[in-house]
Structure 1
């Protein structure tokens, strides 16, 4: 249920919080990993902040509603010795947090920007908030050696509840290998199997892998981030019947295909965007996915358009198309539930964003008037909030749902859909 008084107001570029971690809330979150533990949601994230030297140890936050976040602390006191000696890293990146039995396992990465002398390690704790004890190396990579860059670990579970680690960044692509949950380390040490890679013409820019299994469609979904985390990051997805791939996009292109134009591979779900009432956001990416009962959420960082040095945590709801593809809400989660939308309420002025696979910096919204007389732009009701939006010679099928309009601070509706060619469209009702 959307309760306006429980929704925090955006306060961007607030330098008064710099010296007080208890006030950070969604500020300075980068590469977030999300997990639910009891009645709390936790996010672990990279050692990154604006305006000061980053403190090492992996940031931890928690929330009971996915909107209001409070600072917990850091999982570790510093970069573990073996990781620091191998990489020279002064901070830790891209954590992952999972639970095997009664023990929490936190995976971390150590590296330096643009280098492949990298290290994935793991630490454990009996409580999710720590303290964590380092267990050392899971996998490491050597500078300029052909193969994966050992960062960005995600632990994914197959349909038999067996854990696997998917990891990698730029350079050699993304790989998956099986984990021994008795140790938290690889069952068989090695790089594993290549499942995604991009061409040198785009600097092989693919990273932040996250795999989730959806039993309704019996597919594994590989979420990845393309391009530069500073400017044009964007989230793509592909799926497979096997956790080891091949992962195919909407057009059945393999995610390892480097012969096609680089932006033609992977279904683009979300990039930089702007509704007319605000400045918008840029570079959403490095996401994790939370499955909470029957609901799915994407958790990612994003940058403010006016000053890209500030990065924030966003949580958005995922809906699934009838043909088994995830779509991401254009508005952040604000407590909305799945309720039947009265189609009469969906008639009026909307803003529509075409998620352009080739324009990743910021897609701008266009105004669209939806009418109820099957004239020009209108809905075809398919039941259960599934609709087809008819626009002249184009049809886009997806879902209408309630939302909180964060730009105007009021309740509204959003639409998420894709056309027959695999292009995603996102829209918000404005009047």
Structure 2
């Protein structure tokens, strides 16, 4: 079983109150010039607490807003953005109340709870499991003894027979040992690997009413090792399965073909073509085992990427794919989910790859860690910061060219004196900026998430060069395993020089909202300073350079 969810622990919620913010409360240009925004413009700055444990109980779910979010997926349908995620909640408060519960929003800031597609595991899961076990020469596992896990759905709006519906692919994991069928505990260990995961599919034309029609089996975890499911010890991480059937993502390609991509740890990500109407695999899968990689992948999908070639326990998972301007962008999570979780992105001109990172590394062939860093554990001053920021969904705002990143963020352990703070899972919605790979490649754009969460800040007009002058909190967002990247002071001076975290010269292209810091171009936007008290509007930046192996994040403080 993937280590991703072996560490899921009980989870917590936050006080979600909102305060109106008027012109007098706002510094539209982060403390620079004051262009006098429209005096009639008012908007709501979120004022909910990041530690939501005080309203964690199930009875308070209508106050949760973005509390209790894990592995989200978002799709727009009938005027709302619908979001669904993994079964996880602080204190396990959501247990027993249905699976893949969701939220919906009209503005990406205020979210209300909605029910999920079902309360009990669909009967096809146990039936499929025991059918496979029978073909393997194994005894059936009584349905009441099957240990289920409900993980990481993906949801998309699709047209089926002339009707638009929400289509959801979901993961159900079986946490029993293969050999004996016993529940996965150390005392039950029987020198075999744990059972497989399944991906199923359901559809809805009434997600607000939580009315879904289950369509059944799509695929499952599969092995290239035949029937050799033996495991030498609990410290053996060689892995029986080649593909782990969790963390699906789904895309309709420009040519109209539909594809499912999935995978977690084990050997990498599988690309499986599915029928546009049924949502099921185009080709016959057959038994979920084979005696070679080539035999397996000819049926269960082409491998399009892996973090480490040859490893059956490579630390990447949670693929998410979009298509933009001639490229398929494939986002993924690195490392364990509690603290070190971070997001990377690669791209390809073809759905099957090869996928390359910003430096030209070949992710399809597993040629090392990929860049850029899209998110990473971080800490601005005056705050606890966030960790575990990955397993994202990427979506476009309806009728705009704006793209968004959404994932959970966890508080560090013992934040605010809460011993269980790392089980706090707050949904983070962030705008994506598309930044040049270098000063010599202005059109080679890569997606980076902004450092502050989205709050729907109105357009207060042009961000001018004068407004950038002042003091910033600068983060060199670089890969440090299980550590937060901290902020240091950066001063941008009116004479075009800078001091503190960076030295040298800076310049600004007002029309593109691109700030050049030395040889790194970052994109500038307005967002809310969530760490300020009270929260206020400020300027932020994000960007990278192809040889930096890091991302620059910044927030104006003075």
Give me the TM-score of the superposition, normalised by structure 1.
0.92
Q: Residue 360 of structure 2 aligns with which residue? A: 252
Conserved? CA contact 1:271–1:282, under 8 Å: yes
Q: Residue 9 of structure 2 aligns with which residue? A: none
Q: Residue 234 of structure 1 aligns with which residue? A: 342
Q: Identify which of 318, 321, 324 aligns with 1:211.
A: 321
Q: Structure 1 residues 45, 419: closer, same or farther in 2, change over 3 A?
A: same
CA distance in 2, matches of 1:350, 1:201: 42
Q: Structure 1 residues 337, 49: closer, same or farther in 2, change over 3 A?
A: same
Q: Identify which of 410, 420, 434 aligns with 1:303.
A: 410
Does residue 1:107 correspond to 2:231, yes or no? no
User: Alignment partner of 1:106: what SS?
Assistant: strand
Does residue 1:140 correspond to 2:220, yes or no? yes
Q: Structure 1 residues 420, 250: closer, same or farther in 2, change over 3 A?
A: closer
CA distance in 2, matches of 1:358, 1:244: 31
Q: Residue 69 of structure 1 aligns with which residue? A: 111
User: Alignment partner of 1:111: what SS?
Assistant: strand
CA distance in 2, matches of 1:223, 1:366: 28
Q: In angstroms, what is the RMSD of aligned CA positions?
A: 2.3
Q: Residue 303 of structure 2 aligns with which residue? A: 194
Give the structure with higher Rg (CA): 2
Q: Identify which of 305, 319, 329 aligns with 2:433.
A: 319
Does residue 1:5 correspond to 2:126, yes or no? no
Q: Residue 336 of structure 1 aligns with which residue? A: 457
User: Alignment partner of 2:495: what SS?
Assistant: coil
User: Alignment partner of 1:177: what SS?
Assistant: strand
Does residue 1:267 correspond to 2:372, yes or no? yes
Q: Residue 379 of structure 1 aligns with which residue? A: 506
CA distance in 1, matches of 2:495, 2:206: 58
The offset of 1:166, in angstroms, is 0.8
**Deviation readout 1:120-160 (Å, 9 max, x if unpaired):** 00012222333112211100115654421001111112122
Residue pairs, 1:28-107, within 5 angstroms:
28-52=68-92, 54-55=95-96, 56-84=98-126, 86=129, 88-101=146-159, 102=163, 103-107=165-169
Does residue 1:419 correspond to 2:541, yes or no? no
User: Runs (4+) of structure 1 moved beyond 6 Å?
Assistant: none
CA distance in 2, matches of 1:223, 1:77: 30
CA distance in 2, matches of 1:304, 1:149: 28
Conserved? CA contact 1:35–1:43, under 8 Å: yes
**Deviation readout 1:27-49 (Å, 9 max, x if unpaired):** 21111000111321110111111
CA distance in 1, matches of 2:382, 2:42: 22
The offset of 1:323, in angstroms, is 1.4
CA distance in 1, matches of 2:53, 2:312: 34
The offset of 1:62, in angstroms, is 0.6
Work out which structure has the larger RCO, using CA pairs closer than 8 Å and 6 or more positions apart in sequence.
Answer: 2
Moved more, 367-376 or 46-55: 46-55
Structure ranking higher in strand proportion: 1
Q: Residue 126 of structure 1 aligns with which residue? A: 205
CA distance in 2, matches of 1:272, 1:153: 24
Moved more, 397-406 or 76-85: 76-85
Q: Structure 1 residues 196, 116: closer, same or farther in 2, change over 3 A?
A: farther
Give me the TM-score of the superposition, normalised by structure 2.
0.72
Q: Structure 1 residues 152, 387: closer, same or farther in 2, change over 3 A?
A: same
Residue pairs, 1:284-303, within 5 angstroms:
284-292=389-397, 293-303=400-410
The offset of 1:6, in angstroms, is 4.8
Q: Structure 1 residues 350, 320: closer, same or farther in 2, change over 3 A?
A: same
The offset of 1:89, in angstroms, is 4.1
CA distance in 2, matches of 1:119, 1:96: 14
CA distance in 2, matches of 1:271, 1:121: 31
Does residue 1:365 correspond to 2:475, yes or no? no
What number of residue pairs does the alignment pair up? 423
Structure 2, gaps ≥5 residues long? 1-27, 29-40, 131-145, 176-192, 223-228, 230-238, 286-298, 416-420, 436-442, 500-504
Conserved? CA contact 2:358–2:546, under 8 Å: no
Q: Structure 1 residues 337, 204: closer, same or farther in 2, change over 3 A?
A: farther
